[in-house]
Structure 1
Amino acid sequence: MIWFLSDLAGNPEALLAVFAAVCVALVTGIAFHEFSHAWMAYQLGDGTAASMGRLTLNPVRHLDPLGTLLLFLVGFGWGKPTPVNPYRLRTGPRRGNALVAAAGPLSNFLFAVLAALPLRMGWVDVPRSLDRIGEATGNEVLGLFLFYIVLFNVILGVFNLIPIHPLDGFKVAVGVLPRQAAVELERLAPWGPGILMALIAIGWLTPFNPLGRIIGGVGSRILELVL
């Protein structure tokens, strides 16, 4: 996000407005994402997260320092992992884990759709120019915040569905693949964090940004649908 905000360095009012909107979008998006993991686990019979105070929308319970830092630096990251005991899930560990994992990204897409509704229906407007944000009406300020809630919830949803451990997409893939393929995929789990950080580093240090292309490509299609 730093590179994104740097474009507004010459306009303090726009910088402050966008920074505030992005912070609200990220904090609420992470909280909703992790709450949804805890809620789904609870619905399936595992109260581990609930007993640890994670069945709440309070962002403080869900923010992960590294994941939040990456969100601000590169625009995608994660929240504090929600504890789940897969053997308590009524649907079985593999399928249950996949359902709990899928609940997070799907909740971000749902949040994006709900936030996009006032924009799509024309009930609120996005400021036409950030250069004159100081003259924006309350309606336009609300539109700005809703726009970034939509944008970053789509980013969170798409990023977390990438099938690399420890992202949610990995658990979803393990849960839906045939058993033998799932076993082979699980063997790659220890390498997941390293692969993920390597992909992030490649995007930072070279012109080729694989994660950015995936998130940008899929995310732009979703944004076209909801906005």
Structure 2
Amino acid sequence: MLGSERRPSGVGAYFRPSPIFLGITAVLVISGWLAWREIGDARLIVFLFVAAGWVFSLCLHEYAHAVVAFHGGDRMVAERGYLTLDPTKYTHPVLSFVLPLLFVLIGGIGLPGGAVWVDRHAIRSRGWDSFISFAGPATNLLFTFVLVTPFALGVDSGAHPTFWAAVAFLAFLQLTATVLNFVPIPGVDGGNLIQPWLSPQWQRGFQHVAPYGMLLLIALLWAPRFNALFFGFVFFLCRLIGLPLDHVWYGQQLFPHLSL
């Protein structure tokens, strides 16, 4: 653990955004501008905007876990590079970035990632432990509200249909990720959130199941009944927060998909 006496004077470097994250942000901004101006191929522009926006949100999701862990007692997350928003620093880039992006391409589902390794023994309390798990999906939820706000305020989306369709589809992905992240399955943020408050016996059971939690969640999504319940709930939330489903569907149509 980094004590105050061992912390380097350049501690600000631990929080400096990486060039990779800045590049992702640049792609998001430029593709958004192209969509707004209706310049270029709409499908390519929407793909760049949504894919960059999705990876951007995943970086923020993992950063939220790390920064709360840092303040909660695990100072080593800084030395692991988690606070620089660099996606290459995470312990399982396949689980956090490749697999979720693949699910976006094949089904329009915002699958949660999870790759920040935290030393739970260094965390000062169960409250902080739960807050670490809560911070990631809370970031997705906040990003959802940011994206939905223009629609809720009655923006004239007909003036820039490609841009607003891309924004709506990205917001939909953020909403699905938020819901899935809060499912109380071991190995997913929702399960990790409640784990510190369980009895030692239940905690051991959670730890045994945790490595397979993501696979269990994927299996549930392929089950027709769970899939129908899940999307029914997400569509209900869309209407509740003012996310227009017609814009979501248009954005999904413009976004390229992989056929399996």
The CA RMSD measured in Å over matched residues stands at 2.9
Q: Does the aligned pair in 2 maintain the 1:174–1:186 contact within 8 Å?
A: no
User: Does 2:216 match 1:156?
Assistant: no
Q: Secondary structure at the match of 2:237?
A: helix
Q: Does the aligned pair in 1 maintain the 2:144–2:171 contact within 8 Å?
A: yes
Could you give the per-residue CA deviations for residues 11-33 of structure 1, whole angstroms, max 9, x where no partner exists?
Answer: x9554344234313321221121
Q: Secondary structure at the match of 2:154?
A: coil
For residue 219 of structure 1, what is the aligned residue in structure 2? 234
**Aligned equivalent of 2:121, options 87, 90, 99:** 87
Deviation at 1:213, TM superposition (A): 3.6
Could you give the per-residue CA deviations for residues 4-53 of structure 1, whole angstroms, max 9, x where no partner exists?
Answer: xxxxxxxx955434423431332122112111111211222322222211
For residue 183 of structure 1, what is the aligned residue in structure 2? 201
Q: Against the structure 1 CA distance between its residues 22 and 85, is the aligned structure 2 distance closer, same or farther, given a 3 Å change threshold?
A: same
Q: Does the aligned pair in 1 maintain the 2:69–2:118 contact within 8 Å?
A: yes
- Quick one: distance in 2 between partners of 1:203 and 1:100? 25
User: What amino acid is aligned across from residue 183 of structure 1 in structure 2?
Assistant: Q
**Aligned equivalent of 1:37, options 50, 59, 65:** 65
- Quick one: distance in 2 between partners of 1:61 and 1:119? 35
Unaligned runs of 5+ in 2: 1-39, 243-260
Q: Does the aligned pair in 1 maintain the 2:141–2:175 contact within 8 Å?
A: yes
- Quick one: distance in 1 between partners of 2:169 and 2:89? 22
Q: Does the aligned pair in 2 maintain the 1:29–1:152 contact within 8 Å?
A: no
The residue correspondences of 1:1-227 to structure 2 (distance < 5 A) are: 13=41, 15-61=43-89, 63=93, 64=96, 65-74=98-107, 75-90=109-124, 92=125, 94-123=126-155, 125=157, 139-175=160-196, 177=197, 179-180=198-199, 183-184=201-202, 186-194=204-212, 196-198=214-216, 200-201=218-219, 203-204=221-222, 208-210=224-226, 212-227=227-242
- Quick one: distance in 2 between partners of 1:84 and 1:194? 18
For residue 134 of structure 1, what is the aligned residue in structure 2? none
- Quick one: distance in 2 between partners of 1:117 and 1:66? 29
Between Structure 1 and Structure 2, how many residues are aligned? 197
TM-score (norm 1): 0.72
Identity of aligned residues (%): 23
- Quick one: distance in 2 between partners of 1:60 and 1:148? 26
TM-score (norm 2): 0.64
Unaligned runs of 5+ in 1: 1-11, 128-136
Could you give the per-residue CA deviations for residues 121-161 of structure 1, whole angstroms, max 9, x where no partner exists?
Answer: 13451x5xxxxxxxxx5x43332232122111111111111
Moved more, 164-173 or 42-51: 42-51
